Amino acid sequence: MARSPIWKSIADTLRGDIAEGHYPAGSKLPTEAQLSARFGVNRHTVRHALADLAAEGVVHTRRGAGVFVAGRPTDYPLGRRVRFHQNIAASGRIASRQINRVETRPCDGVEASALQLSPGAAVHVIEGVSLADGTPLAAFRSVFPAAGLPDLPEAVRRLGSITAALAESGVADYTRVSTRLTAKIAHGTLALALRLSDGAPILRAESVNADLSGRPLEFGKTWFAGDRVTLTVSASEG
């Protein structure tokens, strides 16, 4: 079997040190010289490991000051109501969303079943990345029935918020009906969008949300960066 590169082993060790609290959020890592001495390698190898951690959002560099541990994983409640900005704000961080795709197309079989639509019915597809303090937490794809929401695409493009766009389209409230969680691995464009190394662990949430009448409104898939988010479920949320 091929050996893993030394820099990757160093990155894994530092990642473990951070996860175990040896280097708390906001603390400064040892210098490149100190890490070189610890691992018995040159600075170039250490720099490669640190760059990998920075690409994942585990650490960040301050010019002239050193390398610092990024903030703690964000608690993300999986409650009945789906409100990304509120969830992130509650954790004391600044939420933002990057919308990468807004498209109307025929639904596939899985989408038709989840949204209780006829095969090939038109749906709006919205994709993007959810961030906290500028760091990607999750990539998402939301699918909505087009028939009852003809103006949703334009509203999403203009407002940059799915919740606000739905409200403008007459959907004042909506709740989560079901969520299915599956462990996955990030590859290709998904790893790139989340700024993760290829093969990093992620958690996929597949959800159905409904309007207040109980009619399916949204079929969504969200891919959470495994080490940046702690998903929480409260018994009171039911």
- The CATH code belonging to domain 74-237 is 3.40.1410.10
Instruction: Reply yes or no on whether the pLDDT at 32 is more than 80.
Output: yes
pLDDT tens digits for 217-228?
999 999 998 777
| Angstrom distance (rounded) from CA 67 to CA 182 | 33
All CATH 1.10.10.10 domain ranges in the chain, comma separated? 6-69
**Which residue has better confidence, 207 or 3?**
207
Overall average pLDDT of the 44-69 stretch? 87
Average per-residue pLDDT for the chain: 88
Instruction: Give CATH 3.40.1410.10 domain extents, the chain.
Output: 74-237
Q: What is the CATH T-level fold of the domain 6-69, as seen in this structure?
A: Arc Repressor Mutant, subunit A (1.10.10)
This prediction has a pTM of: 0.69
Name which of 27, 134, 144, 152 is nearest 88 in CA terms: 134
What's the pLDDT band for 238 if we cut at 50, 70, 90?
Answer: very low
